[in-house]
Amino acid sequence: MSLEGRLALVTGGGRGIGRAIALKLASQGADIIVNFFRHREKAEQTAKDIEALGVKAEAIRANVGEPAKIDEMFDMIGNKFGRLDILINNAASGVGRPAMDVDVKAWEWTMDINARACLLCAQRAAKLMEGRGGKIVSISSLGSPFVLPNYAIVGVSKAALEALTRYLAIELAPQGICVNAVAASAVETEALKFYFKEGLVKDKRQVTPAGRMVIPGDVANVVAFLCSEEAFMIRGQTVVVDGGTSVGLFTLVGKESE
């Protein structure tokens, strides 16, 4: 699988899963635009690490929760590069609350970043992919098909992202753009430390049939495959990367307390 000569934008690409995806795509030859919002140092470090792989990298600050900032980012990409081959909608945020405690502000914050940004980025990206085809992969989570504690808004935002993935896959198919999503269970990242702290996630190693937690590289491997020509016939799907957790739920009953 080679992505040589391709240009990829990874939103939230400075750390965690986004960083792993950015590095994986770079390792296959793609030049990378690392979008970040609040963590410049990490994004710039990721850009340096990408350049060390022999490809080009650039870190761009933009809050994808704000449509105007998305426009500014894509204007810059359009002016500077005039094209885009791969869009990874990875940036995410959220407020850990039960559904009954969700207020309008928390809803809008989460939906704007996790769902609306995917639509707006895809709309702008598709224009830059015109005449050349492209790949769009969005990062979801098991909070969409399943109920996780205090995860209501994030789960709903991911369900919106997955539905949008299906619609975009069909609408953009005539332009040669493949659109898919990857849903991971709890991934060992800095964001997860926050969820542990808040008591939202317990030690998942005990309930993962594969015997370990999902790491960012596991997600990046699947994203890279979906960005390859080998995955050309996969459209509108959400590929689950969870070490078997979701399909093995009933075999794990009681194991958490062992």
CA 179/CA 183 separation, integer angstroms: 14
14: Cα separation from own chain's centroid: 12
| Nearest distance, CB of residue 36 and other proteins, angstroms | 10
In the bound state with other proteins, the residue whose beta carbon lies nearer, of 39 and 235, is 39
Query: SS3 of 187, please?
Result: strand
| Nearest distance, CB of residue 254 and other proteins, angstroms | 33
| Nearest distance, CB of residue 215 and other proteins, angstroms | 22
Identify the active-site residue in 151, 167, 204, 255. 151
Identify the active-site residue in 42, 158, 195, 204. 158
Write out the residues near other proteins by the rule CB under 8 A.
Answer: 37-41, 63, 93, 95, 105-106, 109
Instruction: Give ∠ CA 150-40-201 in degrees, rounded to 5.
Output: 20
Q: Tell me the CA distances in angstroms from 180 to 6, 102, 123, 244, one per residue in order.
A: 18, 29, 15, 20
| Nearest distance, CB of residue 109 and other proteins, angstroms | 6
In the bound state with other proteins, the residue whose beta carbon lies nearer, of 105 and 131, is 105
In the bound state with other proteins, the residue whose beta carbon lies nearer, of 39 and 83, is 39
The H or E element spanning position 246 is: none
CA 35/CA 73 separation, integer angstroms: 9
Q: Tell me the CA distances in angstroms from 79 to 74, 76, 84, one per residue in order.
A: 8, 5, 11
The H or E element spanning position 58 is: strand 57-61
CA 114/CA 158 separation, integer angstroms: 7
80 is catalytic: no
* Residues with Cβ within 8 Å of residue 197, at least 6 apart in sequence: none
158 is catalytic: yes
In the bound state with other proteins, the residue whose beta carbon lies nearer, of 5 and 67, is 67
| Nearest distance, CB of residue 178 and other proteins, angstroms | 33
In the bound state with other proteins, the residue whose beta carbon lies nearer, of 95 and 192, is 95
Please report the DSSP string for 82-147 in residue order: S--SEEEE---------GGG--HHHHHHHHIIIIIHHHHHHHHHHHHTTTT-EEEEEEEETTTTS-
Active site (catalytic) residues: 151, 158
